[in-house]
Amino acid sequence: MGDGKQTRNEEFRSFVVGRWPRLMRTAFLLTGEQHAAEDLVQSTLEQVYVAWRRVGAADDPEAYVRRVMINAHARRHRRKLREFLAPKDDSGLVRERADTGDRIAQADDRGALLTALAQLPPRQRAAVVLRYWEDLTETQAAEAMGCSVGTVKSNTAKGIAKLRAIPELAETVTHGGRK
């Protein structure tokens, strides 16, 4: 019986090691703060570990974990916890390092992008992050957010419209994203 638990632990460890950078990037974009992102990923992985037998057997374990993370973030937001994507004094802030293929790394002004994301309501921010940075389909984003495809389309369109209205981002949003 110990071998089965050992195998599950190894599968979970492999999953975490392989997905950690992507989970952190998503959490950072949702929360806007490195420590909050780390807390979100950590609490998500705690929940997932307890149910790993079921999660690991799912068709798409990464989508399952993403859904758990988005739900955890939504619960925190409902409790009226404040989020800061652009701290007023970021002199001591350790900067997130983007993956080489990360679309955010391609933005000319990362600070402007984070400030702009901070201005979006949480559902719009989640829709934009999932569609454009996680490169999920509308159906996958709807599953992750626990809503309909139409809600994803609406929130994404409204979020992108708000981002396009910011002069510093207009060119990046128009040329860097999907049409």
DSSP string, the chain: -HHHHHHHHHHHHHHHHHHHHHHHHHHHHHHSSHHHHHHHHHHHHHHHHHTHHHHHTSS-HHHHHHHHHHHHHHHHHHTT----SS-S--TTPPPPPPPTT-GGGG-S-HHHHHHHHHHS-HHHHHHHIIIIIS---HHHHHHHHTS-HHHHHHHHHHHHHHHHTSHHHHHHHHHHS--
Which tens digit of pLDDT belongs to each residue from 115-161?
788 888 889 999 999 998 888 999 999 998 989 999 999 999 999 99
Which tens digit of pLDDT belongs to each residue from 50-97?
989 888 888 888 889 999 999 888 887 665 444 444 455 555 544 555
Q: What pLDDT score was predicted for residue 115?
A: 78
Q: What pLDDT score was predicted for residue 81?
A: 42
Inform me whether the pLDDT recorded for 174 exceeds 70: no
pTM, two decimal places:
0.62
Inform me whether the pLDDT recorded for 178 exceeds 50: no
Which tens digit of pLDDT belongs to each residue from 1-33?
567 778 888 999 999 999 999 999 999 988 888
Which tokens belong to 145?
A: 């957010």
